[in-house]
Amino acid sequence: AAFILLFISHVVQGERLPVGSEWKQIAIYGLLNITFYLGCYVIAMQTVTAGIGALAVATNPVFISFLSVFFLKEKMKWPLILSLMVCAIGVTCAAWPLFSNASVTANGLLLLLFSMMCYSAAAIYFSSKQWNGISLLTINGWQTFLGGLFLLPAAMISYKQEQNHFTIAFWLSVTWLAIPVSIIAVQLWLWLLSVNPVRAGLWLFLCPLFGFLIAAWWMKDVISIYTIVGVVLVVAGLQLSKISTKKDEIVFD
């Protein structure tokens, strides 16, 4: 993913390389967004069930909202607080049937929450820095490359050859993670963060719901009334966040 992004950015589009402190900013962002978040998340999900994992992503908007108050000096307005509450209730409702078989270890849960905190901190860090006109494509390419580079020592130490099977399923999975996720989805995420990090965070409430819908389509899981009510509540919550449109508030039109 990093090589594709950097090729498009520097070779095709002729974008400039980062300079000076920009390298430090990109490295810190990659450390939080790739190394700590993805590294810890993958390890944690080995001991956490799907229900807990689905809800974990939905904690990010809450973390982002409160971190923005302290680090971005944003003001929390009632429409946003109400939106957070409605979306949280919606995601909990959709995931409720999964809790009947939920099991989790203390270490797994702590590691999962730590990974989500890192992801939220990365979002706030990105929004708080001046990027001096450097393109989002360049930032994404280098943060993906450096984040993966920082993760490489841990990957080499924990590598077990007998557990790696380079089948068609493996390469299809890698391709999915590299292009639709690391390139397309992250580009959209960075664009949302550049507009408003808190409003961007609210859209993460849709991640668990999309997970349920994809599972129903691909894995033939049953869509229950809980799922339907959860989707309705999350969509309603996202609409509530648009009530206030004053430019000096946290919510923009």
pLDDT (tens digit, 9 = 90+) per residue, 187-218? 999 999 888 888 888 888 788 778 777 777 87
* pLDDT at residue 249 is higher than 80: no
Inside any domain, residue 249: no
Question: How many Å apart are CA 95 and CA 68, to the nearest integer?
Answer: 27
* pLDDT at residue 248 is higher than 70: no
Structural domain count of the chain: 1
Residues 231-242 have a mean pLDDT of 79
Residues 173-179 have a mean pLDDT of 91
Inside any domain, residue 251: no
Name residue, tokens 């984040």.
Answer: 147
Lowest mean pLDDT among 48-57, 67-76, 143-152, 173-182: 48-57
Return the percentage of the chain with pLDDT > 70, whole number. Answer: 89
Res 251: pLDDT: 44
Domain span at 48 = 2-156+166-240
Q: CA-CA-CA-CA torsion for 46, 51, 55, 57, nearest 10 degrees?
A: 40
Inside any domain, residue 183: yes
Inside any domain, residue 212: yes
Inside any domain, residue 248: no
Question: How many Å apart are CA 205 and CA 238, to the nearest integer?
Answer: 9
Q: CA-CA-CA-CA torsion for 185, 38, 212, 84, nearest 10 degrees?
A: -80
Higher-pLDDT residue of 23 and 242 is 23
Inside any domain, residue 253: no
Return the percentage of the chain with pLDDT > 90, whole number. Answer: 40
Inside any domain, residue 17: yes
> For residue 9, what pLDDT band results from cuts at 50, 70 and 90?
very high
Question: How many Å apart are CA 80 and CA 85, to the nearest integer?
Answer: 9
> For residue 245, what pLDDT band results from cuts at 50, 70 and 90?
very low
Inside any domain, residue 39: yes
